[in-house]
Structure 1
Amino acid sequence: MSFTIAIDGPAAAGKGTLAQALSAHFGFAYLDTGLLYRAVGAGVIAGGDPVAVAQALDPSDLNADTLRTQAVAEAASRVAVIPDVRAALVAFQRSFARRDGGAVLDGRDIGTVICPDADVKLFVTASAEIRADRRFAELTAKGVQTDLAAILDEVRARDDRDQNRAEAPLIAAADATLIDTTSMTAAEALAQAITIVTAKRA
């Protein structure tokens, strides 16, 4: 029996952490849909055509260690506005969402475009400043030399691209539950989400 949880939100809001924790709690499969676009972005950086890369994407491509770099993140955001790239990845995501045993997907348009009939829709957000702080701390912990002001500029620029693109812009689904993690710990966000999902499954 399938049960789909759709989690959307801007970069560094905590949606990935929440999605993984929810999938572990309920024993559902998890798909970081952003990795699909990152994998296409990485392919483009390597010289590939974005549409061809998207059409040939294999699940094993999502395991590459190189997908978490800032350069790949920027490339992913750029290829995500290409309609033919998005079309090539939609079927992959929808098939995953319908799998038996439950699925959790996080991204930018899961509740609005990919899984509009999802059993639970969450929109996870936080202030741009808090999200920049989190990304800065994450990169610094990995030994990456970076600048907080530059990261804040990148966060705002990416928000603008994601929210104003013509194809599947980043917006909360009308029936999504908002979780603002600006002043929340990961544990608090998870507890709130578990309560929402449990009520829907009752």
Structure 2
Amino acid sequence: MNKKIIIAIDGFSSTGKSTIAKQLAKKLNYIYVDTGAMYRAVTLFAMQKNYINHQFFNKEALINDLSSVELSFKFNAELGFAEMYLNGINVEKEIRSLAVSKLVSKIAEVSEVRKKLVASQQEMGRDKGIVMDGRDIGTVVFPEAELKLFMTASADKRATRRYKELLDRGDDVSFNDILFNVQERDRIDSTRKDSPLIKADDAIEIDNSDMGLNEQFERILSLVDKKINE
């Protein structure tokens, strides 16, 4: 029987981390955890409570109310992956909005939020056999992960993918807004004091600017097979 490993996928926003993570989890029969969804859910909570909008952020109020945030993933057999639930309510669609995207990096800067979510993520990976994607999985959450990937692509390519995704979903968005959001999230994620987005020393960089999904999957699967059989 093949050994189970932890696969940590980090990288910039809209580089397809979730897509490849879901593919790998399905192929390997591993648990998939979208940590970005967890930060998005906390962002949605803060928005619902009027702790944050595009003009202000009452950080202390959010910190004091974090005990009211209950996050869980529930597997949807029809979709083939687990969806995000906030306090018992499915928020998968709401957390993917541009409104949440514009504020999530600010929420992710809060050390108390990161501490709460990292502890939860580490518990999820205790028995291995997990694929987790985010910004600090290979550096903070699972520095001992057997396979670490760092996903990157040009800002323009990422914005184009995100734009198409939101249009296909029926959202009314502009490409320039999406591009600005991608660039701004890169800046905030890479410069925050607590767990900034950096490539782990032992991570393998995957630039998928000009790579098709099948080519990417096959390349990464070969890396996984190599690690599992070491």
* TM-score scaled by length of structure 1: 0.94
Runs (5+) with no aligned partner, structure 1: none
SS at structure 1 position matched to 2:41: helix
Deviation, structure 1 residue 151: 1.2
3-state SS in 2 of match to 1:73 = helix
SS at match of 1:92: helix
Which SS does the other structure have where 1:184 is aligned? coil
Residues in 1 aligned to 2:206 and 2:65: alpha-carbon distance in whole angstroms: 34
* 1:57 matches 2:70: yes
Structure 1 Cα separation of the partners of residues 15 and 65 of structure 2: 28
Identical positions, percent: 38
- CA apart distance, 1:53: 5.1
Partner of 1:108: 135
Contact 2:8–2:149, Cα closer than 8 Å, also in 1: yes
Q: 2:178 aligned to 137, 151, 154, which one?
A: 151
Aligned partner of 1:113: which letter? V
Q: Distance in 2 between matches of 1:39 and 1:145?
A: 21
Measured after TM superposition, the shift of residue 182 of structure 1 is 0.2
Match of 1:37 in 2: 39
Q: Structure 1 residues 146, 181: closer, same or farther in 2, change over 3 A?
A: same
What does residue 23 of structure 1 align with?
25
Structure 2 Cα separation of the partners of residues 21 and 128 of structure 1: 23
Paired position in structure 1 for 2:16? 14
CA distance in 1, matches of 2:202, 2:111: 25
Instruction: Tell me how far apart the structure 2 counterparts of residues 22 and 63 of structure 1 sit (CA, whole Å).
Output: 24
How far apart are residue 63 of structure 1 and its match? 3.6
The Cα RMSD (Å) is: 1.5
When normalised by structure 2's length, the TM-score is 0.83
Structure 2 residue runs of 5 or longer lacking an equivalent are: 52-60, 73-84
Which secondary structure does the structure 2 equivalent of 1:99 belong to?
Answer: coil
**Runs of 4+ residues deviating >6 angstroms:** none
Greater fraction strand: 2
Structure of larger gyration radius? 2
Partner of 2:107: 79
1:42 maps to amino acid: L
Judging by fraction of residues, say which structure has more helix.
1
Paired residue secondary structure (1:7): strand
Once the two structures are TM-superposed, the CA of residue 75 in structure 1 deviates from its matched residue by 2.3
Q: For 1:3 and 1:63, locate their aligned partners in 2 and report how far apart those are by CA, in whole Å.
A: 29
Q: Could you tell which deviates more after superposition, 40-49 or 102-111?
A: 40-49
Aligned pair count reads: 201
Q: Greater CA deviation, 58-67 or 117-126?
A: 58-67
